[in-house]
Each structure stands twice: as structure tokens, then as C-alpha cells.
Amino acid sequence: MKALAQTTGLFGFMFLLFIVIGWLIGGFFMGSPLFGMIFFLGIAGIMNFVAYFYSHKIILRSHGAKIIEEKDDPRLFNIVKEVARGADIKMPKVAIVPSDTPNAFATGRNEDNAVVAATQGILKTLDDEELKGVIAHEIGHIKGRDMLIMSIAATLAGAITFMARMVWFQMFFSRRRIHPVLLVTMILAPIGAIIIKLAISRKREFEADKKGAEISKNPNALADALEKLNSENKKNPMKSKSTSSASLFIVNPFKRSGFVKLFTTHPPTEERVERLREMASEFTYL
């Protein structure tokens, strides 16, 4: 409940930020603050519509993921089936990503459209219990509707950035003096939106770890998997132009930059592992 309240609060702040920017742009450039707010809410609505219905297809295609049947990879398929049954959800589709970097992600707006994707690398790196823990983590995302939450967060952040770029465009081609309040807002708003989006992503990862441990009933296996994946992804990052999907993966699969902790899509692996080890100790007393 605490994580849900925090996520709701972050969404509320982002939505308020969006309205304020639309109001300011409407007042300075459109002659009506209300019109500006409604106009940009409409743009956000269209973007969310596209994200809701098509984001999972775009993500799968961008990483070359192929939907498989049981005969294509019985081990992966049956682990997904077992975990889905234990979590009491519909069997999601299963996909394999042609990459040697060990990782996994889930996508889809709901249980009916959910897909659990694993890379070829993760199938070689993890044993069955560790792989089960990772799949349980991804099933946890599905149960929490995290793919929808993150799609909306990403869309709102993208819309705020789009609004800021429109203002910069107007400034570049117009001699009109820009009010300092609007100027400062256009600089800080996109940064704030990205920070909020990443904060939501990190909170959802913690929740998916918790759900995954509860579903698999083996927190230590998921902790072991995270340690292996974190190490292997640092040594062999995924080569892809679609780095915007980093938050979907169980660990960041792309080359790490020098950004501070505030700008990471995932919580520190050490902290995630520590929480899972604590859960494991609680399991032993039950």
C-alpha cells in the first residue's frame, strides 16, 4: 500500500506539472491558458492511447523478440507456465530475444496481452531455480500492471518534454520576449518529469522483486540471479539503439553512463539483493 501511495503521489505531481505547463504555454502563446491546458491534455491522451494499445508490439519488434511455443524451448515455456499457475494468472505469451546478454522483461497492457521475454543469454546463465525467480519477478510486473503504469509515466514525461521543445522552437523563430517564469519552467520541467518517471520505475522494481519472491517462494534464488545478471550485463551490455526500454528489463542491459543514482532506471542491485535476503530469512521462520 505504501508503494502504491507513493507511485500515485508521483503520478499526481507529474500530472500537476503537465497542467501547469499547458496553462503557461496557453497564456503566453495561445491567448488562453485554459485552451493550452486542454490542447496538451489532448496530445497526452493520444500518446497514451498509442502506448496503451501498441507499446508491447513496438518493444518486441525493437528487440527482435520472437513468440515461441512449447516445442521451441520446453524449459523456458514450462517455467513460465508453472510460475503463471502459481501466481494465479493467465498464461502469458513467451518470447525469446536473440541476444547473448542475459536479461528478461515483461510487456503488454494486461494479462490478456502479456508477454514474458527472455534473452538467449539468460537461458545459458541461470539454473532452473534462478530462472524461475526471474520469471516470477516478471509475472509480478504483470500482476501489478506495471507495464501500463510505466507506459503512462513515459508518455507523460515525453509529452512534457515535447511541450518544452515547442517553447524553445517559438523562442528561436520569434522575437517575442519570453517571461522568466516560463523560461525557468521549460528548463526544469523536463528534468523533473524524467526524475519522477525514473523514481516510479525504481519503486515498481522493488515491488516486482517482492512479488516475485512471494510467487516463487525462493527469495534467495532471485537474489542469486540478480547478482549474476548485474555482473554479466556490466561485462556484456546489450547492443541496441532502443535504450529507452531499459526500465522494462530486470536489470539495466545497456552500457552504464556516469549519471548519478537519481537518473538510473533501476534501484541499486545491492539494495535489491539485501531486501531479498531479508525476505529469505523471514521465510525460514514461517
Residues marked as catalytic: 138
SS3 of the chain: helix, strand, coil, percent, to 5: 70, 5, 20
Q: Would you say 18 and 37 are in contact if contact means Cβ atoms under 8 Å apart?
A: no
Q: Would you say 159 and 43 are in contact if contact means Cβ atoms under 8 Å apart?
A: yes
- Pick the closest to residue 68 from 30, 94, 43 (CA basis): 94
Residues with Cβ < 8 Å from 184, sequence gap 6 or more? none
Helix (H, G, I), strand (E, B) or coil at 105: strand
* Residues facing 92 on adjacent strands: none
Q: Would you say 197 and 153 are in contact if contact means Cβ atoms under 8 Å apart?
A: yes
* CA atoms of 136 and 92, how far apart (whole Å): 12
Residues with Cβ < 8 Å from 21, sequence gap 6 or more? 40, 160, 163, 164, 185, 186, 189
* Residues facing 67 on adjacent strands: 95
